[in-house]
Structure 1
Amino acid sequence: MNAVRDRDPLLAITQFLLRLGIGLIALAAVIVAFALVALILVPDQQLLPRLSAEGTRWWVVAAVAVSLVLLTLYLFFTLNLSRIVATVGTGDPFRPENADRLDRMAWLTLGSQGCLLVLAPLVGVIASRIDELRGDFDLGLDGFVMALVLFILARVFRHGTAMRDDLEGTV
């Protein structure tokens, strides 16, 4: 293990939790992908009789597909975050690739928010068709604010990298 991470247990714990999260998100994505294939290939009557009423099955297929996209975006977000934390552990976080990672994370966050905006009405339609299910999505502006913060942080990292390079050039 490297010297900075050995001295800072928070980095080691964070990296462990991120790796655990990556594994769990990947597992969930695989399960959702199998569910999507099952929804498409298994005849209506065998799967759930209630899904065959009024085309509800295809609303569920759409919701599961959007969920798979959402999990994929979360996976890439977490991978990028893990790589940034790794560079903090080496003692050199102000690198051009971290600015690029923060930009990607901002775009992934916007994509996730877009998926949630699509998923919310899908869940509402499904809930209205299956009486026992209650669909409720609480959409907020948190994700959009987070994307803005990530875009700004990317610029801060680019500026910090340029300042460090200028300083190294003058010494």
Structure 2
Amino acid sequence: MTIRQHNSMAAFLSGLMQVVIWIAILSGIIAFILIGVGLIGSLNGGVMRVPGMEAYVEGVAPGQFIAGLAGLAVFAPGIIYVCIQLRSILSTLANGDPFVPENGPRLTRIALAIGAIELARYLTVILLNAFVDLGSDQPLRLSINLAAWAAVIALFVLAQVFREGTRLREEEKMTI
């Protein structure tokens, strides 16, 4: 029987991940408000007035704000979800037991989330170019992020490694 040791670096990273989650949430909310104010100002001829504040948005097409909101809607929830899953994995590592049955599916969910973010990004660029006037003759560029797709593949492989490690450990527990 092995004695589990607490991993202080994993505990630190788990705490840091919680801070990153809150920063991502707050940044997303602030960005949503600022881009929304910009969109409203742009739709009102370049000025938005509310009690105690005036926002000037001259020379920026409403489509650019719509593109910003679309990008925010694609990235923010996905990043927060991935961070939550990573924090859960780090918590098991901090407790000295990373090969728990839940971590394999967590890695799979992270891979699926990153893949979904990339696919949503492609779809967003295509839809924005097709239906939104961005105020420029240049369309948004659709680029393929090979690093993101390599991460998806690596995470699927790691998920299988964790599943196999968990299975072998359970078999070892059954052996006398």
* Common fold: TM-score over 0.5: yes
Tell me whether 1:48 sits opposite 2:57 in the alignment: yes
RMSD: 3.0
Detail structure 1 runs of 4+ shifted over 6 Å in the superposition.
135-138
5 Å matches for 1:68-147?
68-118=73-123, 126=134, 128=136, 139-147=144-152
Paired residue total: 158
User: Which structure: greater helix fraction?
Assistant: 1
User: Which structure: greater strand fraction?
Assistant: 2
Cα distance between partner residues in 2 of 1:161 and 1:49: 58
Give structure 2 stretches of 5+ with no counterpart.
Answer: 48-55
Cα distance between partner residues in 2 of 1:22 and 1:57: 30
Which residue in the other structure is 2:15 paired with? 16
Q: TM-score, normalised by structure 2?
A: 0.74
Which SS does the other structure have where 1:66 is aligned? helix
5 Å matches for 1:128-167?
128=136, 139-167=144-172
Which residue in the other structure is 2:65 paired with? 60
Give structure 1 stretches of 5+ with no counterpart.
Answer: none
Cα distance between partner residues in 2 of 1:64 and 1:14: 30
Cα distance between partner residues in 1 of 2:34 and 2:120: 18
Cα deviation code 1:76-117 (max 9, x no counterpart): 101110110110011111112111110110011112222443
Identity of aligned residues (%): 23
**Structure with greater Cα Rg:** 2
